[in-house]
Structure 1
Amino acid sequence: MYIHVGEDILVRSKDIVAIIDKQSVHSSKMIEEFLERQKHSVINLSKGSYKSVVITTKEIYFSPLASGTLKKRSAKSAI
């Protein structure tokens, strides 16, 4: 199944490694360093401030959608 992560981008649910909310990114030095050192392509889907980070096996997306919304969508796709 696919999950819409923002701006008409669909990601295969089995390719998602993690969905992290913005507050967790800013409160953890480890996550910030991880994102800075990634060799994956980073794609900013939000026109303003992002609400969550979606890490996949190939890309990292800064999503305008809340992590709770993405979680609900992934739960629906598992049915």
Structure 2
Amino acid sequence: MYFHAGQDFVLNTRDVLGVFDLDTAGASRRTGDYLRRAEQEGAVVDLCAPGTLPKSFLVTDFPGETVYVSPLSPAALKKRAERSQID
């Protein structure tokens, strides 16, 4: 099933490995290192409109390991993913 992850972008729920809150996970040094490395490798896709603060990031395994930075909260993403499986 697919769900909207931000900026008119849809992801397949099967490809999502994890959804993380940037407020809590972003405070970790390891998370910061992981995100910097992903950025350097060109594996980060920003789904935020200009001027919008990101609230979460999703790690997927397709295509390859990709990190999507989303303006939506983890709770909103969870609801969208759950709703897509019901429809």
TM-score, normalised to structure 2, is: 0.80
Unmatched tracts of structure 1, length 5 or more: none
How far does residue 26 in structure 1 lie from its aligned partner after superposition?
Answer: 2.2
1:2 counterpart residue number: 2
Q: Which SS does the other structure have where 1:36 is aligned?
A: helix
Q: Describe the shift of the 1:74–1:62 C-alpha distance in structure 2 as closer, same or farther (beyond 3 A).
A: same
- Mapped partners of 1:40, 1:69: distance in 2: 26
Report % sequence identity. Answer: 32
1:1-79 paired onto structure 2 within 5 Å:
1-38=1-38, 39=41, 41-47=43-49, 48-57=52-61, 58=63, 59-79=66-86
In the TM superposition, residue 77 of structure 1 has moved relative to its aligned partner by 2.5
In structure 2, give the amino acid aligned to 1:8. Answer: D
TM-score normalised to the size of structure 1? 0.87
User: Mean Cα displacement is larger for which, 51-60 or 5-14?
Assistant: 51-60
State the shift of 1:18 in Å. 0.7
The structure whose residues are more often strand, as a share, is: 1
- Unpaired segments of 5 or more residues in structure 2? none
Give aligned pairs, total.
79
